[in-house]
Amino acid sequence: MIELTDIKKVFNAGRPNEFTAVEEVSLSLDSGKVTVLKGPSGSGKTTLLGIIGCMARPTSGRIHLTGPLMQGMAFAPKGAPAEVTSLPERFLTEIRRRAFGFIFQQFNLIRGITVLENVMLPAYPMGDDFKSLRERATRILKDFNLSGKLSSRIEWLSGGEAQRVAISRALINDPAVIIADEPTAHLDTKLSAEFMDIVKRLKGEGKTVIIASHDPIVFDSPIIDRVVEMRDGRISGEHIRS
Amino acid sequence: MGRLDKQRNIIDFTLSSLMRRKARNIALMLVYTLVVFVLASVMFFAQAIKKEASIILKDSPEIIVQRLVAGRQALVPEDYIEGIGKIRGVQSVAGRYWGYYFDPVAGANFTLMVTDNGPAIGKIRVGKGVLRSIRASEGDILPLKNYVGEWIVFRIDGSLSSESELVSSDLIMISENDFRKVFDMPKGHYTDLVLDVRNSRERAVIAQKIKDIYPDTRPIIRDEILRTYDSIFNWRSGILLVIMSAALLAFIIFAWDKASGLSAEEKKEIGILKAIGWETSDIIFMKFWEGAVISLSSFMAGIILAYYHVFFASSSLFEPVLKGWSVLYPDFRLTPFIDGAQVTTLFFLTVLPYTVATIVPSWRAATVDPDSVMR
Amino acid sequence: MILHPSIMALFMSSFLICLLLMYSAYYGFVILRKWDIKSGSEQQLELERRTYLISTILTYVCGFQLISLFLYMFTADILHPLFAGAMCASGALSVNSYGYPTLLLKIFNFMAAGLWLVLNYTDNRAYDYPLIRTKYRALILLTPLIIVETYLQTKYFRGLKADIITSCCSTLFTSESSTIASDLASVPSVPGKIAFYAIMALTVLSGIYLYLKGKGGYIFSAFCGLTFIVSIISVISFFSLYYYELPSHHCPFDILHGEYHYIGYPLYLCLFGGTLAGMGTGVLMPFRKTASLMETIPAIQKRLVVFSLVCLLIFTVMVTYRMATTPFILEGY
């Protein structure tokens, strides 16, 4: 479903601090599977995640997307994979909103507004009417046992609750792909295990999950379908389970 | 109505975000309001005074004829009246008696004037400014010293209404005989002449003819007076504005600085919004509304305060500059007057520079990379 | 020079608009040279970010230009008492030869900025920025026009001197400002009205045709331009007379006054808006065959046509209503 061909990302090109984060990465990610990008910090996992999730454009290389989402988009020839590498930001963001949900290492919830508002935010630019959006958000939060916390401030939540709010936010637009960047980095063992349970549930719903992590609880988990190892911006190995 | 809903959602978020950063924005809005207030006060005041002058001058004579000797105003011989009366187009000519009287006790210049239906002999009617400066009221006496040093005592039997205070403040109406007793006005002469013409388009032509017949006269057309007043007040308010341009510039730099110097928290928030799916144009739209809310509230507040200041509190802050040095200070209420042109001008002088100063900083804030929160 | 606050405001706005446009034109040059949509280099990403800035700037410029146009008319109105013989804003504008050219150029620049925004909006809907080069070339062409407008405006205001009393010399002025351009005012009214309605009808018909068949964009656009000119002449020649109920008061600016219920605003705004939208369809016509725009242009054009026709019809209804309901009869004068 997501196909990366010869992706390269360079920062500060032409300057003394030029830095190649990702190089010669070719990857094919199938839908419905859980993939883990494993590697030490500085290996380029985070940058690669951003590129996969249509957040950043690669310096060179191509990205192709296939799936029901691409139908109806003017640049997608019928049936064939759509190349999204050089799309203007407007289009890329539209794809990202619809197809990808992000969970960040530090949750990155916005302080000063309620849990409910945080969850609804990614959908604001979609032009859905407020009421139906609110209902959707409430439903998702209910699924995660957060009905009692709808109007709470972010600052008052426990670690586990914040994690579930972050996941709810990622799900508001019902995306096909969930991307998580070091999701268990700040969690204890119990909460990490809870997180993997949620991933299992999402996989059961048919979602594709891509996780960047160097936590064994994640990459040793039985629900993982594939582990891609990265080092110094390149893919250094791959394990496919079952 | 996806598009409208989208705007509404974003505006909603913008307002809540403004509320969350009250402290930061209040400082900016106070300064903004102050700038608008000062500029608006100057403009309202100048505009209202000009309007006042034009209303008052509506009743003044169309043409006034003065006589100049060696460049100074001299008395007009009465036979000029006949000569001028013969000019085609002149409806009526009449002579006027008036003069300046300096009262050393009050330290002020009064204008003594003779009119039809004037007071009786021994009586005078005075303007409110006169009453204030001699600390008298109706029924009191006012002694005037005449040209040979004798004191003549007059009784004040009426005051002049305050609708025309701007003009009548220092006026003393007096009978013709008394006028001659105070001043050494020779018979057969007037201070000046006043004319009415039949056709207003002919004023300039008639004025020229008067000059042809009597080269030592100076005909003054009422419209010229109006234009002169207009020009003076334009110039005065313009100068004030130029002086305040330094303050305006400081405000703009302050605004630009505030817009550029986003707090770490704000930067993070925008980064998060972009990461979760907001586009650059959505953020720009949000920033636009932020600016609009701040601008509009400060603009309205500044104008309302200025309106109150000028029309109800007599613009205490500016009077000395705008009215000129004047001992006899009319205490009058300016007629509230505000129009689209003034508001638009104020808008261009305040909101426009503010907006321009914030365009680039807002854009910079909005174009942060979506993956910045991940790094 | 007359130091009136409104004049200072106009100088400030023209100066700032010039600055904004020169800044944008500079980046326009950079974009024309270095733009490569296929590239993922940081420079290209930076250029794409920059286009957002320029779009934002031009949007503001268009808005400010419109307000500046109205402020210019207001200022001429405010200043007219200072000039002997000037009865209203028209008189003030005729005091020297820069007054009217500035006004016309302001209108033109507003339209140009608006049309640029139509191009820009269309370009942004496509997935490969097909109009990027055209857009920025147009922007570079627009910049000198704004500079010329600022220059003309400056010359106009610097050339104004109030006819006021000077202290010791003659107070008589032989200068009589020329009155309103009489050639425009002397269009005979019956043929003029027929011409107005005929051209308006043709415009509406071609617009409907464009909407239904998707063809004839150039024609519709040309008619809109023609309608604009004819309407302005008509307002000066006869429509305004119905508002003033005077056979000789041909001023197009006084209908903005409160005593006529500010009717000038909706009239002019509808006329400008309708013309702008209509000409916008014409501006898009050359690009219909571009792959990435094949669906979007017809859709955008449809919306523009509707907006344009609605505005022009409102304008027509307003002036017709006034002519029909006022007791003033023009024919026979």
The set of long-range contacts for A230-233, using a CB threshold of 8 Å and a minimum separation of 24, is: A230/A37, A230/A38, A230/A39, A230/A43, A230/A44, A230/A45, A230/A48, A231/A39, A231/A40, A231/A43, A232/A42, A232/A43, A232/A44, A233/A20, A233/A21, A233/A22, A233/A23, A233/A25, A233/A43, A233/A44, A233/A47
Mean pLDDT throughout A66-73? Answer: 66
pLDDT at A103: 93
Instruction: For strands A82-83 and A60-65, give the pairing.
Output: antiparallel
Shared domain for B293 and B358, answered yes or no, is: yes
Shared domain for C234 and C108, answered yes or no, is: no
In a domain, B17, yes or no: yes
User: Residue A160: how many CA atoms within 13 Å on its side-chain side?
Assistant: 13
Give the three-state DSSP class for B182. helix
Range of the domain at B184: 76-190
Selected for mutation to probe chain C from B345, B349, B363 (highest C CB count within 10 Å) is B345
Q: How far is CA C220 from CA A190, A199, C123, C230, C283, in A?
A: 70, 58, 22, 15, 11
In a domain, B196, yes or no: no
User: What residue ranges define each of the domains in chain A, with the CATH number in brackets?
Assistant: 2-240 (3.40.50.300)
Mean pLDDT throughout A187-209? Answer: 90
Shared domain for B290 and B240, answered yes or no, is: yes
Is the pLDDT at B167 greater than 50? The verdict is yes
Contact B374 A104 (CB under 8 A): yes
- Report the residue from C56, C162, C171 with minimal CB separation from B218: C171
B19 Cβ contact partners less than 8 Å away, ≥ 6 residues apart: none
In a domain, C330, yes or no: no
Smallest CA–CA separation between B294 and chain A, in Å?
20
Residues of B in contact with A174 (CB under 8 A): none
Chain B residues bordering chain A (beta-carbon distance below 8 Å): 1-6, 8-10, 12-13, 16, 20, 265, 268-269, 272-273, 275-282, 369-371, 373-375
The encoded tokens of residue B124 equal 């005078």
Q: How far apart are the C-alpha atoms of A42 and C323, rounded to whole Å?
A: 78
Interchain CB contact of A96 with B (< 8 Å):
yes
User: Residue C105: how many CA atoms within 13 Å on its side-chain side?
Assistant: 19
Selected for mutation to probe chain B from C7, C12, C50, C120 (highest B CB count within 10 Å) is C12
Is the pLDDT at B209 greater than 70? The verdict is yes
Shared domain for C123 and C216, answered yes or no, is: no
Smallest CA–CA separation between C126 and chain A, in Å?
9
- Which phi and psi angles does B199 have, rounded to 5°? -115, 120
pLDDT tens digits for C39-52?
888 889 999 999 99
Is the pLDDT at C183 greater than 60? The verdict is no
The encoded tokens of residue B365 equal 């804030």
- Which phi and psi angles does C221 have, rounded to 5°? -60, -45
- Report the residue from B269, B277, B375 with minimal CB separation from A46: B375
In a domain, B156, yes or no: yes
Give the three-state DSSP class for B64. strand
Q: Which residue, C94, C126, C158, sits at the end of a domain?
A: C158
Is the pLDDT at C174 greater than 80? The verdict is no
pLDDT at A242: 60
pLDDT at A1: 81
pLDDT at C180: 39
Residues of C in contact with A84 (CB under 8 A): none
Q: How far apart are the C-alpha atoms of C192 and B220, rounded to whole Å?
A: 44
Mean pLDDT throughout B24-32? Answer: 89
pLDDT tens digits for B54-95?
777 777 888 899 998 988 889 999 899 988 888 888 888 989
CATH code for the domain in which residue B181 is found = 2.40.40.20
pLDDT tens digits for C134-159?
999 999 999 999 999 999 999 999 98
Q: What is the largest CA-CA distance in chain C?
A: 76
Shared domain for C293 and C208, answered yes or no, is: yes
Shared domain for C42 and C98, answered yes or no, is: yes
Give the three-state DSSP class for C221. helix
Chain B segment 218-257 residues within 8 A of C by beta carbon are 218-221, 223-228, 230-231, 234-235, 237-239, 241-242
Interchain CB contact of C45 with A (< 8 Å):
yes
Q: What is the count of structural domains for chain C?
A: 2
Shared domain for B368 and B233, answered yes or no, is: yes
In percent, the amount of chain B with pLDDT more than 70 equals 92
- Beta pairing partners, A240: A226
Nearest chain C residue (CA) to B72: C168
- Interface A:B, Cβ pairs < 8 A: 88
Smallest CA–CA separation between C220 and chain B, in Å?
28
Shared domain for B185 and B304, answered yes or no, is: no
Q: How far apart are the C-alpha atoms of B277 and A93, rounded to whole Å?
A: 6
Q: How far apart are the C-alpha atoms of C201 and C196, rounded to whole Å?
A: 9
In a domain, B198, yes or no: no
pLDDT tens digits for C49-85?
999 999 999 999 999 999 999 999 989 988 887 877 7
Range of the domain at C115: 5-158
Q: Which residue, B190, B214, B245, sits at the end of a domain?
A: B190
Mean pLDDT computed over every residue of chain C: 86
Is the pLDDT at C87 greater than 80? The verdict is no
- Report the residue from B9, B279, B374 with minimal CB separation from A90: B279
Give which of C85, C91, C145, C92 is closest to C115, Cα–Cα.
C145
* pTM of the full structure: 0.84
Using pLDDT thresholds of 50, 70 and 90, give the confidence band for residue A68: low
The encoded tokens of residue B23 equal 């402290």
pLDDT at C178: 35
Helices of type H across chain A:
45-52, 89-99, 115-120, 130-143, 159-171, 189-204, 216-219
Shared domain for B101 and B235, answered yes or no, is: no
pLDDT tens digits for B348-363?
999 999 999 999 999 9
The encoded tokens of residue C124 equal 């942004």
pLDDT at C172: 35
Residues of B in contact with C10 (CB under 8 A): 348
Residues of B in contact with A168 (CB under 8 A): none
Mean pLDDT throughout B2-12? Answer: 85
- Report the residue from A12, A59, A73 with minimal CB separation from C40: A59
Task: Provide the strand spans (E) within chain A.
Answer: 2-11, 19-29, 34-38, 60-65, 82-83, 100-103, 177-181, 208-212, 226-231, 234-240
Per-residue b or e along A63-84, where b marks 16 or more CB atoms closer than 10 Å to that residue's CB = bbbbbebbeeebbbeeeebbbb
B1 Cβ contact partners less than 8 Å away, ≥ 6 residues apart: A127, A129
Is the pLDDT at B53 greater than 80? The verdict is no
In a domain, C175, yes or no: no
C124 Cβ contact partners less than 8 Å away, ≥ 6 residues apart: A88, A90, C55
In a domain, C332, yes or no: no
Using pLDDT thresholds of 50, 70 and 90, give the confidence band for residue B185: confident
Q: Which residue, B190, B217, B243, sits at the end of a domain?
A: B190
In a domain, C176, yes or no: no
In a domain, B336, yes or no: yes
pLDDT at B238: 81
Smallest CA–CA separation between B163 and chain C, in Å?
24
- Beta pairing partners, B30: none
Q: Are C222 and C283 in contact (CB under 8 A)?
A: no
Give the three-state DSSP class for B162. helix
Interchain CB contact of A112 with B (< 8 Å):
yes
Residues of C in contact with B66 (CB under 8 A): none
Helices of type H across chain C:
5-34, 42-79, 89-93, 99-125, 132-158, 182-185, 189-213, 217-234, 240-244, 264-284, 296-325
Is the pLDDT at A72 greater than 60? The verdict is no
Q: Which residue, B169, B190, B211, sits at the end of a domain?
A: B190
Q: How far apart are the C-alpha atoms of C268 and C255, rounded to whole Å?
A: 10
Using pLDDT thresholds of 50, 70 and 90, give the confidence band for residue A51: very high
Smallest CA–CA separation between A230 and chain C, in Å?
22
Q: What is the count of structural domains for chain B?
A: 2
Contact A128 B373 (CB under 8 A): no
pLDDT at C66: 93
- Report the residue from C2, C9, C165 with minimal CB separation from B348: C9
Nearest chain A residue (CA) to B20: A112
Contact C172 B230 (CB under 8 A): no
* DSSP 8-state code for residue B202: G
Give the distance, in angstroms, between the CA of residue A235 and the centroid of all CA atoms in the same chain: 19
Contact B370 A112 (CB under 8 A): no
Place of tokens 């040309």: C222
Shared domain for B237 and B362, answered yes or no, is: yes
In a domain, C10, yes or no: yes
Candidate ranges A95-99, B304-308, C146-150; pick with highest mean pLDDT? C146-150
In a domain, B35, yes or no: yes
Shared domain for C28 and C103, answered yes or no, is: yes
Q: Are A116 and A110 in contact (CB under 8 A)?
A: no
- Report the residue from C42, C48, C296 with minimal CB separation from A88: C48
Shared domain for B86 and B146, answered yes or no, is: yes
pLDDT at C52: 94
- Interface A:C, Cβ pairs < 8 A: 38
Neighbours of chain A (3+ CB pairs under 8 A): B, C
Shared domain for C99 and C208, answered yes or no, is: no
Chain C residues bordering chain B (beta-carbon distance below 8 Å): 2-10, 12-13, 16, 19-20, 49, 52-53, 56-57, 60, 64, 67-68, 70-71, 74-75, 77-78, 81-82, 84, 162-165, 168, 170-174, 176, 258
Nearest chain C residue (CA) to B71: C168
Contact A126 B2 (CB under 8 A): yes
The amino acid that residue C324 corresponds to is A
Contact C40 A11 (CB under 8 A): no
pLDDT tens digits for A117-136?
999 999 998 888 889 999 99
- Report the residue from B5, B277, B280 with minimal CB separation from A122: B277
Smallest CA–CA separation between B48 and chain C, in Å?
13
In a domain, B164, yes or no: yes
pLDDT at B163: 59
Shared domain for B119 and B92, answered yes or no, is: yes
Residues of B in contact with C164 (CB under 8 A): 224, 227-228, 231
As a whole number of Å, the end-to-end CA separation of chain A is 20
Residues of C in contact with A87 (CB under 8 A): 127
pLDDT tens digits for C186-236?
667 788 889 899 999 999 999 999 999 888 889 999 999 999 999 998 888
The encoded tokens of residue C302 equal 């449809």
Using pLDDT thresholds of 50, 70 and 90, give the confidence band for residue B136: confident
Is the pLDDT at C168 greater than 60? The verdict is no
- Report the residue from C10, C57, C164 with minimal CB separation from B359: C57
